[in-house]
Amino acid sequence: MTLGDAGDGSHCHNYDSRNELLLSLFLGYQALAAKDREADAATTEAVHKMLTNEQINLIWTGVPYDPTGYGEEARGFIGMLDQYRLNLKIIPQSFHQGEDPLTPEQKIRFAELERTVFHRQAIVVQHLPANLFNERFRGRITIGRTMFETDRIPRDWVGRCNLMDAIWVPCHYNVETFAGSGVLRQKLRVVPGGVDQNAFHPAAPPLEPKQKGFVFLSVFGWFDHKGWDLLLTAYCTEFRPEEDVMLVIKTIDYMYHSTPIEQQIGNFINSLRIPAEAIPKLRIINRSMPGIQMPSLYTGCDAFVLPSRGEAWGRPYLEAMACGLPVIGTRWGGNLEFMNDDNSYLIEIEGLEDVRGNVDMRLYLGHKWARPSLECIRRLMRHVFEHRQEARAKGTRARQDVCQKWTWGHSANVVVSELVKYC
């Protein structure tokens, strides 16, 4: 398949003027993000100096023991903040069961942090979906850490956010969607997530012997907004079984759908009316996986693809980039905080669309999300498959960007610089 008029082949340009407006807005968000990162780097030394003279009591409540995105982010923040001169206590909550995601070292240290005792009032961070903010659990300052994927937030989130002294969101995109929904803009602060660049590393040994041929990987929870239907359609219509290519989908069903994931995939592929003998190689990993194994899953593959309809952050994109993989992701949402045309392959969108009535996450009803271009997904997957040296170079650039700007160390610096404002 040729790339037609796609220029250098790494972009798709079939969007209309409405999308040009959307993209101009996001370019503006990215410019703000770049400016903020420069300021963060300049304040790192000052933050450490301030902490030598200040003692901060900090309570972090959230789901650090859960095998979820919120859980993974909590573990990242807590692990890095524990290295600062803070009095840190964690109060864990839990909502999802699954394989224990903690390392032995984390289990020991987190248990110690649960037993921290303060002798004066603390700053409290409630790291949860905003509908779970507890207005009765307050500190001398109470901060909400939360995020949302669509073009707005649920109505009942607005009041709960405004009860907090500050709201930390991961991206400038969420500053706009939260403020546009009614959260007071002066309460909103961008505190990005991060990644452990030492664990998520190109040299991590593959989980299994490297598959013959080219392997695409996609990692996501089994939700409609992740665009799994678009991914399967693009892959199954673009590639043939005789081509040396495979798609690996690592997923888990947090919604406990009545129909098993494997059956949903089979039913969907049947709906494409592609003969079974014409389906390219596909592997499904439907289980939780210890976090320590995830880098090895990435490094056993050649490229990452996720045509999401909306992300507040997009942690798997960042993990794949840290592992040096070329990444294909949607040109819309919070992932544009760290993804750009230099370090990623961005899927154009055909505008925004209303969330349909049969969506699995009912709180999205009445919202809009992106409509990624199916043709663009196909073109980019084909391009990465056929231009492997270029793709590897882009993956190398992505890794460099992550190490320079998007580690947990960078994230913790932002957190601490926010906390010292209250000293």
**Among all chains, which residue has been given the structure tokens 């961008």?**
190
- CB-based contact 179:391 (threshold 8 Å): no
pTM of the model: 0.88
What does the pLDDT read at residue 9?
A: 46
- What is the C-alpha separation between 161 and 167, in angstroms, rounded? 7
Task: State the CB neighbour count (10 A cutoff) for residue 315.
Answer: 20
- Nearest CA to 57 out of 110, 137, 118 is that of 118
- CB-based contact 201:232 (threshold 8 Å): no
The C-alpha torsion from 153 through 158 and 163 to 168, rounded to 10°, is: 20
What does the pLDDT read at residue 211?
A: 72
- CB-based contact 144:116 (threshold 8 Å): no
Query: Which DSSP letter does residue 321 get?
Result: H
Give strand pairing partners of 246.
215, 281
- CB-based contact 180:202 (threshold 8 Å): no
- Which residues contact residue 277 at a Cβ distance below 8 angstroms, ignoring those fewer than 6 apart? 241
What does the pLDDT read at residue 31?
A: 53
What does the pLDDT read at residue 219?
A: 98
Question: Per-residue confidence of the chain (423 residues) as pLDDT tens digits?
Answer: 222 333 444 455 443 443 444 444 445 545 544 554 554 444 455 555 555 556 799 999 999 999 889 999 999 999 999 988 789 999 999 766 666 788 899 999 999 999 999 877 999 999 999 999 999 999 999 999 999 999 999 999 999 999 999 999 999 999 999 999 999 999 999 999 999 999 999 999 998 887 779 999 999 999 999 999 999 999 999 999 999 999 999 999 877 778 899 999 999 999 999 998 999 999 999 988 888 899 999 999 999 999 999 999 999 999 999 999 999 999 999 999 999 999 999 999 999 999 998 899 999 999 999 999 999 999 999 999 999 999 999 999 999 999 999 999 999 999 999 999 998
What does the pLDDT read at residue 15?
A: 38
What does the pLDDT read at residue 49?
A: 55
- In the three-class reduction of DSSP (H, G, I as helix; E, B as strand; rest coil), residue 216 is classed as strand
- Nearest CA to 60 out of 42, 43, 81, 39 is that of 81
- What is the C-alpha separation between 86 and 82, in angstroms, rounded? 7
- Nearest CA to 36 out of 335, 411, 318, 342 is that of 411
* Integer-rounded Cα radius of gyration of the chain: 21
What does the pLDDT read at residue 54?
A: 62
What does the pLDDT read at residue 207?
A: 87
- Spell out the alpha helix ranges (H) of 104-196: 104-114, 155-163, 172-181
- Which residues contact residue 268 at a Cβ distance below 8 angstroms, ignoring those fewer than 6 apart? 229, 232
Q: Please say whether the dihedral angle defined by the alpha carbons of residues 159, 164, 169 and 175, taken in this order, is positive or negative.
A: positive
* 3-state DSSP helix/strand/coil % of the chain, to nearest 5: 45, 20, 40
What does the pLDDT read at residue 288?
A: 84
What does the pLDDT read at residue 7?
A: 40
Task: State the CB neighbour count (10 A cutoff) for residue 8.
Answer: 9
- Spell out the alpha helix ranges (H) of 326-422: 374-386, 388-405, 408-419
Backbone angles phi, psi at 201, to 5 degrees: -140, 145
Query: Which DSSP letter does residue 301 get?
Result: S
All structural domains of the chain: 54-194+407-422 (3.40.50.2000), 198-405 (3.40.50.2000)
What does the pLDDT read at residue 29?
A: 44
HSE, CB side, 13 Å, CA atoms: give it for residue 227: 26
What does the pLDDT read at residue 404?
A: 97
